A and B are shown apart, each in its own frame.
Chain A
Amino acid sequence: MKKALFLALLFLGGNLWAKPINENLEYAGYLKTEFWLKNYNDESHLSLSSFKNTFDLEVEYKLSENWTFFFHPRFFYDFAYGLREDFNSNFDRNQFKMGHTQRTEWLRDCYLDFTSDKLDIRIGKQQVVWGQADGLPFLDRVMPFDLTYYWLPDFADIRIPLWMIKVEYSPEINSTLQFLLIPDFEASRSAPANAPFSFKGVNSFHRVKKIMEANGGSMSTTIYRPPKEFKNSRVGLRWRSMIGELEYTLNWLYGYSTSAYTYLDQTIITGGPIPGLGMPKGNYYYSRRHKLMHLIGFSFNKSFVNPGLFEGWTLRGEFAYFHNEPAYYGTDGNRKRTERTDKYTYVLGFDKTFFTNWVFSLQFAQFIHDKKTFGGYQVLNSYTYGLLDKVENYLTLKVSTDFMHERLKPEVLIVYNDDNDGRISFKAKYELRDNLWFTLGYHHFWGPLRGSNGQFRNNDHLVLEAKYTF
């Protein structure tokens, strides 16, 4: 289906490409170098996590009044992985794939756009974004995520684009029905073991596997992706409209979860317990599977534009209900079962500008598991296998401003969980010239060892970035 979409796109594009390339062609791009320096960790005080160089190009060609073709390749090479033998032996070969562009990831966007007053159609590789929250992907679950650098990069770079058809129909001026047909499938991914931002769950599995193999046992994992058949396409609907000045959406998504969940399929015990591991020697057969699930949700926003107590405030919110999405159950640090369950999430956001140009954005969110326990085991954090409460509470605060005629733009984001787990991400962007920008950032993590952020508590990072645009 993905190939069919690509061919259809070429066919349509080819037919419409009947005019010479002229002022209808527009392009832009950048060259970017970024350094990620780990501030301190268990083994060294400072190490180079990433020395990434990126080339990005965006090309738009207006075929006619209603048709536009957009093409967006991106390539990167991370020299930190090339330097690893000489510079730091802690790099693991498993991480090598993080060092350069893999497979078709170079193609970020490639689509044909039809636009008209009432009907918009976008066919091709693209991103679709749902939700009103900043940095919390509750309703924003259409696209899979690349979490190799956790949730730290811009969200447009975290989302993995997919081949799909998006149709937007407006029966009236401010109301739109969006229909998504997504035959393409990509799994969300996380960093491999021992990478700068690999999850504790991944590292633990890797460590256990090494010990098991050293003692004559084995642990193998088979990955099952949904078969590439049209019937396995994901489908989505979103209705967006306004009631007065309240804007709302109703959302529904059905299909295979882009997150894979680990199952223990078979165990053949071949010996006694391995010292220090707590597991008997044996052959363990695991699988990673994607399950069918439903997402039902809604979102809203409203700016208070009339004089009064709330004048100048913007209220945002979203709610998502996940039906039949798997979750892990076990004891602290040990996954025992993977069971389907229902989950509920919501977030409320409050935004206002104070002191002329200081923008404050506060969010409160809850993540609720329908079943806290299953078979005597407690629900686990899927990143770390740490114990979760039935209701997890989150607070985020983002403050941003600008100085020097918007030449210097600092911002800080604080994410806090009620288990005293959180992070502070600071970023300051400086415009040297129109086409030359520098960014200095720092990510500080804290929290319990098996907290989502606490797992990186010895993993603070300084980020330096230089970007040349054209």
Chain B
Amino acid sequence: MRWLFIFAGCLLLNLGVFAEKLEYHKVYTPQEGMSAEEIMKIMYHNKYSLFARDYQQTGEVLYVDPSGFTRKRVWKRQRIVKAGQEGISYKDLVVMTYPTELKGLAVLTWTYEDPQKDQNVWLWIPSLKKVRKISASEDDDAFMGSDFTVEEVSTRRFEDESYKLIGSKNFPGYKFEHTGEVKFKDKPCFVVECTPLKPHWYYSKRIVWIDKDTGGNIFEEYYDKNGKLFKTLFREWVWTDLGDKKYPTQISLECKDLRTNHRTVILMKDTEYDQGLSEYDFTVKALMRSRW
């Protein structure tokens, strides 16, 4: 009986929080009966790893053209979650390590809690050996030249769209072209229709499949203003077991542009959470340490 109360208490606490903001440094998962908004808040919370205090990982991006010709980028990303201190949600440092021509290119980004505020961005430019404050990228610009847009990777917020819950369905599975594997077949999901609030945006709506287990957005379909599907985006979410706790983690992404048949694959590895990263590593001084 005691466990039932604890479980019910946790559930109520979990649900109660959704009316407002989710707390930092806590893991949330979607529950039956939640609204589309509640589910999407959890999705964003997980997407930006706001449950952790910090994390780091290596990312490999593959640009694959229709002929199969592939180019590669490798980066190392570190993030510290500021949890709203001084209005900052989190700070990111991304350093390119491959190819050599881009090696050393580093971007320091501060993302604010206020969804109306743009990011503050500093760039270390190896060819100038200097730090340059730059304007935040346009949200609909390609992220590092990939098929993802900037907002799909790093700037889209909960407040940018309106939501409608379509229902609960089992995911039909996605053939991950990079390996040929079919992923997440029959995975129980919530299906949410998201409509951008910005007028004349690059998509008119997207259909998002949210994994009931991890709360991750495992599949997205993008529709243009004529209602035609033009892009799909797959994300592989898994649990990372840290012993006393476990965190939802993206380990691979694949974005396909159905108009050009170009696709981008992102493979993430060596993800580590809560390593006690220092905030001093997310400063302009740290950016200026770059040697390449």
Give the chain B neighbours of A89 by CB distance below 8 A. none
Q: Is A431's CB within 8 Å of the partner chain B? A: yes
Stretch with Cβ within 8 A of A (4 or more), from B17-25, B117-125, B177-185, B191-199: B117-125
Do A437 and B101 contact each other (CB < 8 Å), given the known contacts A127-B129, A129-B128, A174-B283?
A: yes
Give the chain A neighbours of B67 by CB distance below 8 A. none
Do A60 and B291 contact each other (CB < 8 Å), given the known contacts A405-B145, A406-B142?
A: yes
**Taking CB as reference atom, which chain A residue is nearest B282?**
A173
Q: Is A434's CB within 8 Å of the partner chain B? A: yes
Stretch with Cβ within 8 A of B (4 or more), from A15-23, A229-237, A299-307, A371-379: A299-307
Residue of A155, A303, A311, A469 most packed against chain B (CB within 10 A):
A303
**Taking CB as reference atom, which chain A residue is nearest B64?**
A405
State A431–B285 Cα separation when bound (angstroms). Answer: 31
Q: Is B140's CB within 8 Å of the partner chain A? A: yes
Q: Is A132's CB within 8 Å of the partner chain B? A: yes
Complex contact B291–A173 (CB within 8 A): no
Stretch with Cβ within 8 A of A (4 or more), from B30-38, B39-47, B49-57, B130-138: B130-138
Say which residue of A131, A314, A402, A405 sits within 8 Å of B135 (CB atoms).
Answer: A314
Give the chain A neighbours of B140 by CB distance below 8 A. 356
Complex contact B284–A470 (CB within 8 A): no
Binary per-residue interface labels of chain A (118-130) against chain B in the complex, 1 for a CB within 8 Å, 0 otherwise = 1010000001010
Complex contact A174–B284 (CB within 8 A): yes
Q: Is A45's CB within 8 Å of the partner chain B? A: no
Say which residue of A140, A176, A303, A357 sits within 8 Å of B138 (CB atoms).
Answer: A357
Complex contact A305–B118 (CB within 8 A): yes
Complex contact B142–A357 (CB within 8 A): yes
Q: Could you tell me the distance in whole angstroms from the C-beta of A327 to the nearest C-beta in chain B? A: 27
Do A117 and B118 contact each other (CB < 8 Å), given the known contacts A305-B112, A470-B100?
A: no
Do A316 and B133 contact each other (CB < 8 Å), given the known contacts A405-B262, A434-B98?
A: yes
Q: Which B residues are closer than 8 A to A by beta carbons?
A: 63, 71-72, 98-101, 103, 112, 116-121, 126-130, 132-138, 140-142, 144-147, 262, 264, 278-280, 283-285, 288-289, 291-292
Given contacts A357-B137, A433-B71, A434-B98, 18 further A-B contacts (CB under 8 A): A29-B100, A58-B291, A60-B291, A113-B291, A117-B278, A117-B280, A120-B289, A127-B129, A129-B130, A245-B120, A303-B118, A305-B119, A314-B135, A351-B134, A356-B140, A359-B134, A405-B146, A406-B142
- Can you give 12 contacting A-B residue pairs, CB < 8 Å? A132-B133, A156-B126, A168-B285, A174-B284, A240-B284, A302-B133, A304-B118, A312-B135, A313-B135, A353-B138, A406-B144, A434-B72
